[in-house]
Chains A and B, each alone.
Chain A
Amino acid sequence: MKTNTISYKIKQYLLFAGVSTVIFTCVVIIPFIYGLYLTMTSWDGVSRSKPFVGIDNYISAFSDSGYWVSLGRTFIYSAIAVVLVNAVAFIIAYMVTSGIKGQNFFRAGFFIPNLLGGIVLGYVWKFVFNKAFVELAGAIASGNVKSLLATENGAIAALIIVSVWQYAGYMMLIYVAGFMSVSEDVIEAAKIDGCTGTQSIIHISIPLMTASFVQCLFLTITRCFMVYDVNLSLTNGDPYGSSALAAMHVYNQAFVNKNYGTGQAEALILFVICAIVGGIQVYVGKKGEVQA
């Protein structure tokens, strides 16, 4: 049988990926195009008429100062959270692969937060911040202590803490796989050559694990930019709307303020930014990969 004809290739493609292509088109491509169309209407999200308004929504999205403020906030939140998540994940991954007692138990323990839904853990942490920490701090400092969630910077800090707690376990798994993939031989050879533990991590393990870093950074960056569930259940924009991140602003614009078109346009801008940042990061990361 000839395997290089076009019809053969199409048949092969349809055989293996035909169903997924249809489903992917239905649930991703078509809604995406329809969403693009909606950005050019002044639909309120409810009524039957969707008046066409051209690029008005993009103009109002660009002039919506609240959106850009929340986007700036998202950048700050993401930058800090991404660094912390990966640093913490890398360190615990190193610890649970170094052969300490009960390391499987620790791996499971660190991973568990990731199994909880963002909404649930948001409410759990809200209780911890508002009640447990306040009680503790009150006992130490005495008097009416403000919860972290009641201050503008504190609320963002709380979001970062919870995100790190949630994602670090998942990223740890990827780093653990990275550590496992570094061949024992190389490490041993380095040891014989007189490499110290730290040196072998920096000069041997990390370069060989670039693939893990690329993956983890990509996952954390996109997740942080799009975060909504924890934002909703932990702070819901309080205090004074100062902790509303971009996704929450988009949601409120579309569904609470009933400017569906503007909200959709803002969502598209968020998507483009996210895609650019993620794309650059993967491109740069891939270039730096080392083949052992």
Chain B
Amino acid sequence: MKKRLLSLVMIAAMSASLVACGGSDGASDGSSNGSGVSITILNSKTEIQTQFEEMAEEYEKATGVHVEVYNADTDTTVASQVATKYASNDPYTINMVDAKDVYSLADDYAYDLSNEDWASHTTAAITVNGKLAGFPVCVEARGILYNADAIKNITGKDFDPASVSTLDDFTALLEELKAGGMEAPVGLLSEYWSLGGHYFSQVYEEQPDPDAFVNSLLAGEEDLASNAKFNELMDSFDTLVKYNYARGSASNADREETSMKLAEGDIAFMFGGNWDWSVINQYDYTENLGMMPVPQNTTDGSNEKLVGGGSKFFFVDNSDSTTDEQRQAALDFLNWLVFDAEGNSFLTEDCALVPAFDNIDSSALDPLSLSVKKYADEGKLIPNYNYLPDDQMTVVGQEIMQKYLDEAMTRDEVAKAVVDYFKTATPIEH
């Protein structure tokens, strides 16, 4: 009998320890803790997580609303994380997602924000089927980052990005830098998102009608190899490859190292975007950095514009899992970002984001963002194209462009591979 009792006790202890693993997080999401409501935010701009958490504390002190900020997992897509939370009926109150996710998620999950005051202050918000679903967190743009100090050190003249808008002028400057002692003045990231999602996607975005172009690629009717934009951008890419400091092992270039070289002036140019500031500012950067369009021998004006627009969007959950108080708190939070001085300084100063709202003062931004702001204010932004097939970035970026970057593929082969890929790609409905 004693033995039996002992075994019962042991079984009880074992099952208790198992059960304990599962039940720990149930108590944290209640909105009933007396003083105020509690909302959750999924932050998919992981580089600003610390700032977000600090802001959440301040925000709770000021308003009594408890804000729980969750850092998105960078190893998986944001959409799948949002979906997981919906599948378990425990969605975030506010979800920060990419533009294409807003289109796929809005019908099912997003609350209509059309009646919000901030809606009239931005042109970057996303409307899906008549419902204003996406609050633009910031504006981001792509182009060539330059280190003007490094250039001036060699040429002796102040660098004017407008003077190298054509590829011929740009190549002449690269030659001058090379002759002046900077053997390889260019850095190119080897990550597939940079090659496929940022560089090659310009081929679609800079077409007169991107949608028609992509559709004809999908239909297998486009002669990419003789397309003007494709060739202009690939000409520019060839030049960047030729002067790449990592040439020879280009597909293995390290993002940190490339950013450091640009920051410290070991190289003068790097293809990237204003988000690269969060990496560059970790190093001993020189003062005069900036962004300019990708130089091209073209007449369509695209070599005077950056490519970009609203980036990362908040949508507010419309499901029953979120109470009306929580939803109101979420709407108040979005208003606070746009109309409160504290909220503004959180966006522009703490997180160094280019605001998408015309009433926000952004003079305190970093140099790359200031460049973006300047182009945006002048209306010189070519919009992002958000309906590329989901695997475009990995297939074109990794399997095709990375090989081209390594000079293991010719341009004709690239054109053929891209055309072949599009024939089997799944179009995004829109």
Contacts and interface: CB of A to CB of B under 8 A. Distances in A.
Interface of A: 15-16, 19-20, 23, 44-48, 119, 130, 134, 144-147, 149-150, 232, 237-241, 252, 255-259
A241 B79 contact: no
A77 to B, nearest CB: 19
Given A146-B248, A240-B399, A23 B76 contact: no
A255 B15 CA distance: 34
Contacts of A20: 18
B83 A46 contact: yes
Contacts of A44: 104
A241 B399 contact: yes
B252 A150 contact: yes
A256 B391 CA distance: 7
Interface in B1-49: 7-8, 11, 14-15, 18
Given A46-B79, A255-B76, A240 B249 contact: no
A239 to B, nearest CB: 5
Nearest to A23: B18
B75 interface: yes
* Interface of chain B, main secondary structure: helix
B122 interface: no
B248 A241 contact: no
Interface in B334-369: none
B218 to A, nearest CB: 15
B251 interface: yes
Nearest to B81: A255
Contact of B390 (A15, A23, A48, A256): A256
B228 to A, nearest CB: 27
Given A46-B82, A48-B108, A147 B402 contact: no
Contact of A240 (B79, B248, B402): B402
Interface in B401-418: 402-403, 406, 408
A67 B402 CA distance: 20
B398 A45 contact: no
Closest 10 CB pairs of A and B: A150-B252, A144-B248, A19-B15, A257-B391, A241-B399, A46-B83, A239-B251, A255-B80, A240-B403, A241-B398
A130 B399 contact: no
Contacts of B402: 238-241
B252 A232 contact: no
A232 B254 CA distance: 16
B391 A130 contact: no
Contacts of B406: 150, 239-240
Given A241-B399, A256-B391, A147 B75 contact: no
B231 interface: no
A238 B250 CA distance: 12
Given A46-B104, A47-B108, A256 B398 contact: no
Interface-central residue, A15, A20, A239, by most chain B CB under 10 Å? A239
B249 A147 contact: yes
A255 B399 CA distance: 18
B382 interface: no
Contacts of A241: 394-395, 398-399, 402
Contacts of B105: 46-47
8 contacts: A20-B18, A46-B101, A144-B247, A150-B252, A239-B402, A241-B398, A256-B77, A256-B391
B394 A238 contact: no
A130 B252 CA distance: 8
B268 to A, nearest CB: 20
Contacts of A252: 391, 394
Nearest to A257: B391
Contacts of A238: 190, 192, 251-252, 398, 402
B216 interface: no
A73 to B, nearest CB: 14
A255 B78 CA distance: 10
A246 B412 CA distance: 30
Given A147-B249, A238-B192, A238-B398, 5 more contacts: A19-B18, A46-B80, A144-B248, A238-B402, A241-B398
Contacts of A146: 248-249, 252
A19 B15 CA distance: 6
A163 to B, nearest CB: 19
A134 B108 CA distance: 50
B155 interface: no
B50 interface: no
Interface in B70-93: 75-77, 79-80, 82-83
Nearest to B8: A15
B104 A239 contact: no
B18 A147 contact: no
Contacts of B192: 237-238
B390 A257 contact: yes
A257 B391 CA distance: 5
A239 B252 contact: yes
A240 B390 CA distance: 18
B318 to A, nearest CB: 12
B80 A45 contact: yes
Nearest to A65: B424
Contacts of A45: 79-80, 83
B426 interface: yes
